[in-house]
Amino acid sequence: MLKIELRYASHPDDARSYDTARLRKEFLIENVFIPDEISLVYSLYDRMIVGGAMPVNGELKLETDDVLRSENFLDRREMGIINVGGNAVITADGLVFELSYKEALYIGSGTKDVVFRSADNTNPAKLYINSAPAHHSYSSQKITVSQALVANMGNTESSNHRTINKLIVNNVIDICQLQMGMTELKTGSVWNTMPVHTHDRRMEAYFYFELAENQAVCHFMGEADETRHIWMKNEQAVISPSWSIHSAAGTSNYSFIWGMAGENLDYGDQDVRLPETLK
């Protein structure tokens, strides 16, 4: 079963007045994984699609939807998938890919038949999905953490010692505009993406996971001079407009997956704001 929710974009002047409930309604994706469903949100920020597939009792076929106005889901799109559950088997136009925990798969535009299943339904796969419009068809391929571009950032003294794994990026594989990676915080560190930044050339989505039971993450968003926050639980996602900062602090360490779509593939294209300038 496929479900797609449409979400409109918000002007930053309007977002300043949102209360907690409105912020959560517009930007938070609370239920990423629903058993035996492909649950997606179509955002009008760079037309990024964010969500998850959780095959339990059988296969899940990626079908199209009226919002796409296309014969197949990926006729004009590319897709990135990172598995955060049990082992998965994904078939893309006859090619079979096996994904273990934290392994990624890129599926190129023009792919017609995509099927998800779990290798063991007692330990179902949880396939986190990002998809963006694509102008060219590139080969589908699997990317492991060992193939990623790795950057170690921050330090324990600032509570932000972390490892950034760049998985679906143009320095690793051929892509159109979609980029995805995974950041893992070390024990004792809770801050991510600090100093904060914005990038007008692309939007972003964060998916938080490996957060211990009874712990939470406070995601910071908004303009650097008008920040807001959203409290989040394990395995939830949040949409970040191009005008918004995107950072968080947790009540314990955690991991998160970042995904971007837009016109610029330069990972370093960022407008940084130092902590002492935030409001």
The pLDDT of residue 188: 93
Q: Is the pLDDT of residue 71 over 90?
A: yes
Q: What is the CATH number of the domain that holds 180?
A: 2.60.120.10
Q: Which amino acid is at 98?
A: E
Overall average pLDDT of the 60-69 stretch: 96
Average pLDDT in the chain = 96
Q: Domain range holding 20?
A: 2-277
The pLDDT of residue 268: 79
Q: Is the pLDDT of residue 14 over 90?
A: yes
pLDDT in tens, 167-198: 999 999 999 999 999 999 999 999 999 999 88
The pLDDT of residue 51: 98
The pLDDT of residue 27: 98
SS (H, E, C) the chain: CEEEEEECCCCHHHHCCCCHHHHHHHHEECCCCCCCCEEEEEECCCCCEEEEECCCCCCEECCCCCCCCCCCCCCCEEEEEEECCCCEEEEECCEEEEECCCCEEEECCCCCCEEEEECCCCCCCCEEEEEEECCCCCCCEEECHHHCEEEEECCHHHCCCEEEEEEECCCCCCCCCCEEEEEEECCCCCEECCCEEECCCEEEEEEEECCCCCCCEEEEEEECCEEEEEEECCCEEEEECCCCCCEEEECCCCEEEEEEEECCCCCCCCEEECHHHCC
The pLDDT of residue 1: 83
Number of independent structural domains in the chain: 1
Overall average pLDDT of the 49-67 stretch: 97
Q: Is the pLDDT of residue 271 over 90?
A: no
